[in-house]
């Protein structure tokens, strides 16, 4: 038994974040690790019992967490992303959802053995995927932009639609089976849904207006949004159960499309909160599963139902709904396979299991086992297969980590050329067409535009690039770029050229402490690197062998050599910086900027060897 509720809260958070770390460390699907951890800690080992120990707080905690997660996801839904994707996303979210509802309900009745009433309720609910399971998969798989955006938009938009379909089905059943049918409840359902959408829009507009006019100070913006999200969800949900999800989705989409600058800052904070909430809630839900329910999951009718939902219902609904759209067959195949169910399906099915059983539908006791079976099977199957399938279909951006370089000048172009010869994807970004002339002349891929502009955000695909280097002549701009993109790339993968200048007495100290890590060494600002190239310095590759180790290389190198980056045989790329702790080993290739005298001596020695070999051959003849 756990000593206290506080200890259980700590354990849930520890297991959730620990699962995320294990998944990141060993490149495994995070949702699979979280599900396995929750099952081990709950029904298998009996270490924690969240539903029992949290008591009356269990359902409200999960509901609020789901609302915040869904809001954070919808905060990323800018209509600018819909360029060329509006038609397939609309079709999948409407026609596809309806087809999945009908086919899922028929499958639930004929295969799982549920009554028509219960089948249509659960059929509506099971069209959802949701950000709690889709976002971790997208982070893991590095899909190309089109299928990634379709899955993201579908997951967030269909989440409230699925819950509302389940409520709608229940209201229809109640109406049709009543002794004295009264259409008032149906009218109230539609009115409550419309109210929820409008209320969410008003909340988004209201908080957005307060941000733009300065009525809320910076330090209160994130707390204010959290409070309004909970207000928005609770008010709508109190009027009609499950309409709160629709309300927070409408609020998030409204804020995302108002063009408020501070929203992007909050988005990173809310992403971090969402990761914490997803981790904790997934552990709580799986740990609350009863052993009897776990045994029920493996009954033949439930397994048959799950397999049909995965291999027939989902692909068929996607292929039928996207006829005549711009999506390719490969994109349809990927989207038609990926549909993991998550927190919304688990929480809402628990509510309907209670309501339906109270209304006399005894077969509703299967809903919990059915939902957990679909969640666990889809999470495991899709979590482990998405990266493999994306690669097979040519829809994955995985490969050698790429480098995005901001700033076109003599040094960055030569650096990009060096990376290209090592088969590393590279792109140079600059707002000056004149400065890009060097990149164009060298045949380096480039993008013309400001890295910080909103247009670049939607037009430039940054997925192939794992590293970002800010190497313009403006040190403040470099620091700003690094600060902006650290949440996206990670602190260890963002670099800037040294802001120090030999003729300054520490005035760059402020800039040096802002943004990413200093590239190479603080002794080498941009102008010195370019000067070295003008002096004849060359890019040199040195591969370490058993007969030429790293120690041998250090003894042989010139003192003026600038270490640039390291390439491992596995394809791993590491840029040199003052914080670099990696020691090169046999098989690694060191790329450096070498003085011309060193290279000339090397060439001279090679020529002398060739001359000596030629003389020996002539003497032998």
SS3 labels along 593-616: EECHHHHHHHHHHHHHHHHHHHHH
83 has pLDDT over 70: no
* Residue 99 falls inside a structural domain: yes
> What is the number of other CB atoms lying within 10 angstroms of the CB of residue 329?
10
- Closest to 593 measured CA to CA, from 523, 545, 503: 523
505 has pLDDT over 60: no
Query: Between 512 and 160, where is the model more confident?
Result: 160
Which runs of consecutive H residues, i.e. helices, occur in 540-620? 550-556, 596-620
* Residue 397 falls inside a structural domain: no
- Closest to 160 measured CA to CA, from 118, 116, 130: 130
3-state secondary structure string, 78-117? CHHHHCCCHHHHHHHHHHHHHHHHHHHHHHHHHCCCCCHH
pLDDT at 610: 57
140 has pLDDT over 70: no
299 has pLDDT over 60: yes
Residue 598 belongs to a domain with what CATH number?
A: 3.40.50.720
Chain segment 363-379, per-residue pLDDT in tens? 888 888 888 888 888 88
Do 313 and 103 meet the contact criterion of CB atoms below 8 Å apart?
A: yes
Residue 581: band (very low, low, confident or very high) from pLDDT cuts 50, 70, 90: low
Coil, strand or helix at 403: strand
d(C-alpha 402, C-alpha 408), whole Å = 17
3-state secondary structure string, 18-51? HHHHHHHHCCCCHHHHHHHHHHHHHHHCCCCCHH
Of 392, 410, 429, the domain-final residue: 392
Q: Please tell me whether residues 476 and 362 are part of one structural domain.
A: no
Greatest mean pLDDT among 413-427, 456-470, 495-509: 413-427
Largest alpha-carbon pair distance within the chain? Answer: 115
Q: Please tell me whether residues 377 and 470 are part of one structural domain.
A: no
Q: Please tell me whether residues 381 and 449 are part of one structural domain.
A: no
* Residue 617 falls inside a structural domain: no
Q: Please tell me whether residues 371 and 413 are part of one structural domain.
A: no
* Residue 379 falls inside a structural domain: yes
Residues 6+ apart with CB under 8 A from 218: 262
482 has pLDDT over 70: yes
* Residue 523 falls inside a structural domain: yes
Of 349, 366, 392, the domain-final residue: 392
Do 287 and 36 meet the contact criterion of CB atoms below 8 Å apart?
A: no
Mean pLDDT across the chain, nearest whole number? 79
- What percentage of the chain has pLDDT greater than the value 70? 84
Mean pLDDT check: name the lowest of 172-186, 221-235, 595-609. Answer: 595-609
Q: Please tell me whether residues 561 and 487 are part of one structural domain.
A: yes
Q: Please tell me whether residues 313 and 409 are part of one structural domain.
A: no
Q: Please tell me whether residues 385 and 412 are part of one structural domain.
A: no
Locate 361 and state its tokens: 């539908």
- Closest to 78 measured CA to CA, from 138, 159, 152, 158: 152
508 has pLDDT over 70: no
Q: Please tell me whether residues 470 and 379 are part of one structural domain.
A: no
**What is the extent of the structural domain holding 239?**
5-392
Q: What angle do CA 337, 297, 378 make, to 5 degrees?
A: 15
Torsion on CA atoms 361, 366, 368, 372, rounded to nearest 10: -150
Q: Please tell me whether residues 378 and 316 are part of one structural domain.
A: yes
Chain segment 213-251, per-residue pLDDT in tens? 888 887 788 788 888 888 998 998 888 877 887 888 888
* Residue 615 falls inside a structural domain: no
CA distances from 230 to 69, 136, 184 (A): 11, 24, 28
Chain segment 88-126, per-residue pLDDT in tens? 888 888 888 899 999 999 998 899 888 888 888 888 888
Residue 312: band (very low, low, confident or very high) from pLDDT cuts 50, 70, 90: very high
pLDDT at 510: 46
Query: Between 385 and 615, where is the model more confident?
Result: 385
Chain segment 533-572, per-residue pLDDT in tens? 888 888 888 888 878 777 777 777 777 788 888 888 877 7
* Residue 220 falls inside a structural domain: yes
Do 169 and 120 meet the contact criterion of CB atoms below 8 Å apart?
A: yes
* Residue 616 falls inside a structural domain: no
Residue 276 belongs to a domain with what CATH number?
A: 1.20.1530.20
Chain segment 533-544, per-residue pLDDT in tens? 888 888 888 888
pLDDT at 85: 66
CA distances from 102 to 119, 150, 316 (A): 10, 22, 12
Q: Which residues of 408-438 are buried (b: 16+ CB within 10 A; e: fewer)?
A: bbebbbbbbebbbeeebbbbbbbbeeebbeb
Q: What is the DSSP letter of 527?
A: H
Q: Please tell me whether residues 417 and 307 are part of one structural domain.
A: no
Residue 504: band (very low, low, confident or very high) from pLDDT cuts 50, 70, 90: low
Q: Which residues of 76-90 are buried (b: 16+ CB within 10 A; e: fewer)?
A: bbeeebeeebeebbb
* Full strand arrangement of the beta sheet holding 573-575: 538-543, 589-594, 562-567, 573-575
3-state secondary structure string, 195-250? HHHHHHHHHHHHHHHHHHCCCCCHHHHHHHHHHHHHHHHHHHHHHCCCHHHHHHHH
Do 111 and 304 meet the contact criterion of CB atoms below 8 Å apart?
A: yes
pTM for this one? 0.67
Count structural domains, the chain.
2
What are φ and ψ of residue 427, in 5° steps?
-145, 135
Of 371, 392, 413, the domain-final residue: 392
d(C-alpha 442, C-alpha 435), whole Å = 12
21 has pLDDT over 80: yes
293 has pLDDT over 50: yes
Residues 6+ apart with CB under 8 A from 114: 108, 122, 363, 366, 370
Q: How far apart are the first and last CA of the chain?
A: 90
d(C-alpha 556, C-alpha 598), whole Å = 10
Q: Please tell me whether residues 384 and 407 are part of one structural domain.
A: no
Q: Please tell me whether residues 365 and 488 are part of one structural domain.
A: no
507 has pLDDT over 50: no
């Amino acid at each position: 038994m756990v000593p206290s509720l506080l200890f259980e809260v700590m354990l849930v958070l520890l297991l959730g974040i620990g699962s995320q770390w294990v998944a990141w460390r060993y490149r495994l699907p995070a949702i699979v690790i979280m599900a396995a951890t929750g099952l081990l800690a709950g029904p298998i080992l009996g270490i924690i019992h969240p539903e029992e120990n949290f008591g009356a707080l269990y359902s409200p905690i999960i509901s609020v967490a789901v609302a915040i997660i869904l809001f954070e996801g919808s905060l990323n839904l800018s209509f600018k992303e819909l360029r060329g994707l509006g038609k397939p996303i609309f079709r999948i979210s409407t026609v596809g959802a309806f087809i999945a509802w009908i086919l899922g309900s028929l499958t639930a009745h004929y295969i799982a053995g549920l009554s028509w009433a219960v089948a249509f309720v659960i059929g509506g609910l099971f069209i959802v995927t949701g950000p709690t399971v889709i976002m971790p998969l997208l982070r893991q798989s590095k899909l190309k932009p089109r299928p990634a955006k379709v899955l993201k938009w579908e997951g967030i938009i269909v989440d409230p639609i699925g819950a509302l379909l389940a409520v709608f089905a229940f209201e229809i059943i109640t109406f049709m089976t009543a002794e004295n049918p009264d259409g008032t409840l149906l009218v109230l359902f539609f009115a409550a849904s419309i109210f929820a959408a409008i209320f969410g829009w008003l909340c988004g507009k209201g908080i957005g207006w307060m941000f733009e006019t300065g009525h809320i100070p910076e330090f209160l913006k994130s707390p204010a949004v959290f409070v309004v999200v909970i207000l928005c969800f609770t008010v709508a949900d109190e009027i009609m159960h499950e309409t709160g999800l629709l309300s927070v989705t409408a609020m998030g989409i409204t804020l995302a499309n108002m063009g408020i600058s501070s929203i992007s800052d909050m988005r990173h904070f809310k992403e971090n909160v969402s990761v914490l909430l997803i981790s904790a809630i997934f552990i709580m839900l799986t740990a609350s599963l009863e052993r009897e329910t776990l045994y029920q999951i493996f009954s033949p009718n439930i397994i048959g139902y799950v397999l049909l939902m995965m291999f027939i219902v989902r692909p068929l609904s996607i292929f039928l709904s996207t006829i005549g759209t711009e999506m390719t067959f490969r994109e349809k195949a990927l989207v038609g396979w990926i549909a993991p169910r998550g927190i919304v399906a688990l929480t809402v099915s628990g509510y309907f299991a209670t309501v339906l059983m109270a209304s006399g539908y005894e077969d509703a006791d299967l809903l919990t086992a059915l939902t957990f079976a679909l969640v666990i099977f889809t999470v495991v199957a899709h979590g482990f297969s998405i990266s493999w399938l994306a690669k097979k279909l040519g829809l994955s951006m995985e490969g050698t980590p790429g480098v995005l370089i901001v700033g076109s000048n003599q040094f960055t172009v030569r650096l990009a050329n060096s990376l290209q010869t090592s088969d590393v994807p590279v792109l140079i970004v600059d707002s000056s067409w004149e400065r890009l002339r060097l990149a164009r002349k060298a045949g380096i891929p480039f993008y013309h535009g400001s890295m910080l502009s909103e247009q670049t955000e939607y037009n430039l695909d940054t997925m192939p690039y794992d590293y970002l280097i800010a190497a313009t002549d403006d040190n403040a701009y470099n620091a700003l770029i690094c600060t902006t993109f650290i949440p996206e790339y990670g602190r260890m993968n963002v670099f800037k050229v040294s802001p120090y200048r030999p003729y300054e007495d520490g005035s760059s100290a402020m800039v040096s402490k802002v943004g990413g890590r200093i590239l190479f060494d603080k002794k080498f600002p941009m102008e010195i690197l370019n000067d070295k190239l003008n002096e004849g310095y060359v890019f040199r590759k040195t591969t370490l062998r058993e007969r030429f180790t790293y120690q041998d290389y250090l003894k042989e190198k010139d003192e003026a050599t600038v270490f640039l980056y390291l390439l491992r045989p596995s394809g791993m790329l590491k840029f040199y910086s003052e914080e670099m702790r990696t020691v090169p080993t046999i098989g690694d290739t060191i790329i450096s900027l070498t003085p011309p005298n060193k290279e000339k001596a090397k060439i001279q020695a090679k020529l002398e060897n060739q001359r000596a070999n030629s003389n020996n051959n002539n003497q032998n003849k």
